[in-house]
Amino acid sequence: MKAIVVERGENTPSLIETPVPEPADGEALVRTLRVGIDGTDFEVLNGNHGGFPAGDDHQIIGHEAVGVVEDPNGTGLENGQLVVPTVRRPPEGSNEYFERGEPDMAPPGTYLERGIDGAHGFMSEYFTSPEEYLVTIPDEFAETGILVEPMSNTVKALEHAFASRSMFDWSPETALVLGNGPLGLLTLAMLDQTVERSYCLGRRDRPDPTIDIIDELGATYVDSRETPVSEIADVHEPVDFVYEATGYAKHAFETVEALAPNGVGVLLGIPEDWTFDIDGGRLHREIVLENKVILGSVNSHLRHFESAKESLARVPDWFTDDIITDVFSPINAEQALSSGNNRIKTVIEFDTR
Amino acid sequence: MKAIVVERGENTPSLIETPVPEPADGEALVRTLRVGIDGTDFEVLNGNHGGFPAGDDHQIIGHEAVGVVEDPNGTGLENGQLVVPTVRRPPEGSNEYFERGEPDMAPPGTYLERGIDGAHGFMSEYFTSPEEYLVTIPDEFAETGILVEPMSNTVKALEHAFASRSMFDWSPETALVLGNGPLGLLTLAMLDQTVERSYCLGRRDRPDPTIDIIDELGATYVDSRETPVSEIADVHEPVDFVYEATGYAKHAFETVEALAPNGVGVLLGIPEDWTFDIDGGRLHREIVLENKVILGSVNSHLRHFESAKESLARVPDWFTDDIITDVFSPINAEQALSSGNNRIKTVIEFDTR
């Protein structure tokens, strides 16, 4: 079968031929339909992954997949059923987090991540997976199902954020999404029914397809070159909820200033080390006197994938059409995995028969 | 009646004679037994309060009180009942936070605070209060009831912290309390039944009465001059829960480094502005990859006072005996409100008959 991989020492993708994997007991064989590309894939290509699968000098990339069950192999799945795989897998010997069904809460070093960290991903004609890590989805999500994985991360982030505010009467009216990449835009769409007014921060000029989507969603585009995060409260309004999807470390701290009293900021970006000045006294004081929360969130587990299916069913068709801008066949993987103008979500589409 | 006040332009307390207050409809008249002193009282004396009560050039200080109902005045209270007053009161016209019974979630500028911000406190022979802001306590708390208010702040902080971790299986085994003042020690005692191992940070030499209490509680004393907060994870162990009661702004950020994965740090200190360097990239990344939370908490509401009564009943007698180190009569208020060696909790005791 064809597989898109990163070879040891390389930082561009290669299309290779490799045997179709054999499902082990409890695993199903899945024929891949589509795999989405996100920023993590570029980091994997550039060597920022947790390591190659044991014994291999290449890693199949890709972690946002949708496929169809080709061989249930004795599992409870049915031939032809559409599935989305989760990403984290237990290391040798497993651990408490996987045993509890909470791989997303496993700390670094206690998990493998398919396509990212020590395990092959899904960007190949077939993949295998234990049944427990496959989420069944309706047939109408054959094209959009690649959005379930990123949306599941937002589901978890929102769940934890709301839990942090559950001991008092909290009804957020306003939200600010930092970042107008695919994850930011998906989150903006998911928040559409939760808050009355939303803002999305980017640093692009009009005309731009992401700003068009922000407009269409009824949100307000904030150009960070004109209005930094620390000034949004003054220029627009303090917001009850901030969702950070930029990986820009200063945003984590400026979020405190953007928040309204009793607000929560959830961080999802993963920046490099970066030392800078902050007015730590003022931030500390504001966090306390205004009962604010800063909360980190990474990955997601099965419940979040199940809930993401419902979120996907709720976003309008025009939105998913506009988000998935570029569809490539596997032979054009190198082109798909280079940066392209005006791309939002790029997808590799395998033979869909 | 006698009252201990701060006069406009002064920063030492004065003992004055002032009329016994008349309870309005819905208010009871309470005869004061004891009022505790904390750091906020010193800030009030030094002018860092929200302002004098409307029309007055002095403010009665004190907000940690226990008293006995002298005149129920038609409320549901009974003569002779012991009560602890809450601190926040609605401003003119009230607002949604007070209407919901959540004054602790009211942002700055939307409340008065008795003894602190725009309203007279409780350090006088009598005070009045609406029935709804008086918490009845058992007779055996006549001497220790002054601890209910500070403990209620910890109850709220713990409640919010645990809520933030409620969407997964979180069983904290370790806690770190930053600060060995009365609030830190009370929190350490309250955590005694929640975690297996606890640490308390201070910067004093042995022999010291607070370190003796830390030892007696079975906790580990950490001298910040030898082991800064950022090194506690390495020198001792990463901790699941951090409670910051120092008001030292760097602790808010070093807390991220002290926390174990999935941990929560709750901030209660109120520092001044202070600009310093942080490795914001690393902190941001750790918060995300390890699902950490930093949460601010201020004040408390009735439910937390009710719960604090139960917490007070659970701490051992030797602990409350050792915490309340100094008891002064009102005529010695100036001495009570100066700093004293080896004091932990200082109390003003009115005529207890």
Span A86-132, pLDDT tens digits: 999 999 999 999 999 999 999 999 999 999 999 999 999 999 999 99
> Quick check: is A309 in a domain?
no
Calculate what percentage of chain A has a pLDDT beyond 70: 99
> Quick check: is A320 in a domain?
yes
Asked if B293 lies within 8 A of A291 by C-beta distance, the reply is: no
**Averaged over A267-274, what is the pLDDT?**
97
Pair (B219, B112) in one structural domain: no
Tell me which of A1-10, B26-35, B57-66, B344-353 is least confident. B344-353
Domain limits for position B200: 152-296
Residue ranges of the annotated binding site of A are 40, 113, 149, 153, 180-183, 203-204, 268-270, 297-299
Return the pLDDT at A123: 98
**Which among A288, A289, A295, A300 is the top mutation candidate for probing chain B, defined by the most B β-carbons within 10 Å of its own β-carbon?**
A288
Number of structural domains chain B divides into: 2
Mean per-residue pLDDT of chain A: 97
Contacts of B167 in chain A (CB under 8 A): 159-160, 163
Return the residue of B nearest to A304 by Cα. B167
Return the residue of A nearest to B276 by Cα. A277
Q: Could you say which of B105, B164, B298 has the minimum Cβ distance to residue A288?
A: B298
Pair (B156, B289) in one structural domain: yes
Pair (B223, B195) in one structural domain: yes
Pair (A114, A165) in one structural domain: no
Contacts of A159 in chain B (CB under 8 A): 167
Asked if B290 lies within 8 A of A108 by C-beta distance, the reply is: yes
Residue A139 has pLDDT above 80, yes or no: yes
CA angle B298, B300, B301 (to 5 degrees): 150
Q: Could you say which of A160, A168, A274 has the minimum Cβ distance to residue B280?
A: A274
Contacts of B55 (CB under 8 A, 6+ apart): none
Q: What is the pLDDT of residues A283-326, one digit of tens each?
A: 999 999 999 999 999 999 999 999 999 999 999 999 999 999 99
pLDDT band at B340 (very low <50, low <70, confident <90, very high): confident
Residue A352 has pLDDT above 80, yes or no: no
User: How far is the C-alpha of B201 from the C-alpha of A124, rounded, in Å?
Assistant: 54
SS (H, E, C) chain B: CEEEEEECCCCCCEEEECCCCCCCCCEEEEEEEEEEECHHHHHHHCCCCCECCCCCCEEECCCEEEEEEEECCCCCCCCCCEEEECCEECCCCCCHHHHCCCHHHCCCCCCEEECCEEECCCCECEEEEEHHHEEEECHHHCCCHHHHHHHHHHHHHHHHHHHHCCCCCCCCCEEEEECCCHHHHHHHHHHCCCCCEEEEEECCCCCCHHHHHHHHCCCEEEECCCCCHHHHHHHCCCEEEEEECCCCHHHHHHHHHHEEEEEEEEECCCCCCCEEEEEHHHHHHHHHHCCCEEEECCCCCHHHHHHHHHHHHHCCHHHHHHHEEEEECHHHHHHHCCCCCCCCEEEEECCCC
> Quick check: is A301 in a domain?
no
Residue B285 Cα, gap to closest chain A Cα (Å): 5
- Asked whether residue B290 is marked as a ligand-binding residue, the answer is no
Return the pLDDT at B14: 97
Contacts of A274 in chain B (CB under 8 A): 279-282
Mean per-residue pLDDT of chain B: 97
Return the pLDDT at B250: 98
Return the pLDDT at A340: 77
Residue B348 Cα, gap to closest chain A Cα (Å): 27
Pair (A213, A133) in one structural domain: no
Q: Report whether B271 contacts A262 (CB < 8 A).
A: no
Q: What is the pLDDT of residues B245-283, one digit of tens each?
A: 999 999 999 999 999 999 999 999 999 999 999 999 999
Q: Which helix (H) or strand (E) holds A216?
A: helix A209-216
Residue B169 Cα, gap to closest chain A Cα (Å): 8
> Quick check: is A303 in a domain?
no
Asked if A249 lies within 8 A of B289 by C-beta distance, the reply is: no
**Averaged over B87-95, what is the pLDDT?**
95
> Quick check: is A311 in a domain?
no
Asked if A280 lies within 8 A of B249 by C-beta distance, the reply is: yes
> Quick check: is A324 in a domain?
yes
Q: Could you say which of A159, A276, A295 has the minimum Cβ distance to residue B280?
A: A276
Pair (B200, B87) in one structural domain: no
CB-defined contacts A:B, below 8 A:
185
> Quick check: is B49 in a domain?
yes
Asked if A249 lies within 8 A of B107 by C-beta distance, the reply is: no
Q: Which helix (H) or strand (E) holds A45?
A: helix A39-45
Pair (A168, A279) in one structural domain: yes
Return the pLDDT at B352: 66
Residue B35 has pLDDT above 70, yes or no: yes
ipTM over 0.90: yes
Pull the structure tokens for residue A107.
């700390």
Contacts of A292 in chain B (CB under 8 A): 295-296
pLDDT band at A353 (very low <50, low <70, confident <90, very high): low
Residue B101 Cα, gap to closest chain A Cα (Å): 10
Return the pLDDT at B353: 66
pLDDT band at A73 (very low <50, low <70, confident <90, very high): very high
Residue ranges of the annotated binding site of A for NADP(+) are 180-183, 203-204, 268-270, 297-299
Residue A82 Cα, gap to closest chain B Cα (Å): 28
**Which among A160, A168, A253, A275 is the top mutation candidate for probing chain B, defined by the most B β-carbons within 10 Å of its own β-carbon?**
A168
Pair (A224, A247) in one structural domain: yes
**Averaged over A129-140, what is the pLDDT?**
98
> Quick check: is A302 in a domain?
no
What CATH code is carried by the domain that includes residue A197?
3.40.50.720
Residue A264 Cα, gap to closest chain B Cα (Å): 9
Strands B174-178 and B197-202: parallel
Return the pLDDT at B50: 80
Return the residue of A nearest to B167 by Cα. A160
Q: Which helix (H) or strand (E) holds A312?
A: helix A302-314
Contacts of A230 in chain B (CB under 8 A): none
Strand B2-7's sheet: what is its strand order?
B14-17, B2-7, B58-60
Pull the structure tokens for residue B173.
């085994």
Residue B208 has pLDDT above 70, yes or no: yes
Asked if A252 lies within 8 A of B287 by C-beta distance, the reply is: yes
Pair (B156, B138) in one structural domain: no
Tell me which of A43-52, A241-250, B20-29, B267-276 is least confident. A43-52
Contacts of A294 in chain B (CB under 8 A): 287, 293-295
Tell me which of A97-101, A248-252, A281-285, B341-345 is least confident. B341-345
Pair (A96, A170) in one structural domain: no
Return the pLDDT at B193: 85
Q: What is the pLDDT of residues B139-195, one digit of tens each?
A: 999 999 999 999 999 999 999 999 999 999 999 999 999 999 999 999 999 999 899
Pair (B117, B171) in one structural domain: no
Asked if A293 lies within 8 A of B292 by C-beta distance, the reply is: no
What CATH code is carried by the domain that includes residue A54?
3.90.180.10
Q: What is the pLDDT of residues A156-194, one digit of tens each?
A: 999 999 999 999 999 999 999 999 999 999 999 999 989
**Averaged over A3-30, what is the pLDDT?**
97
Pair (A183, A252) in one structural domain: yes
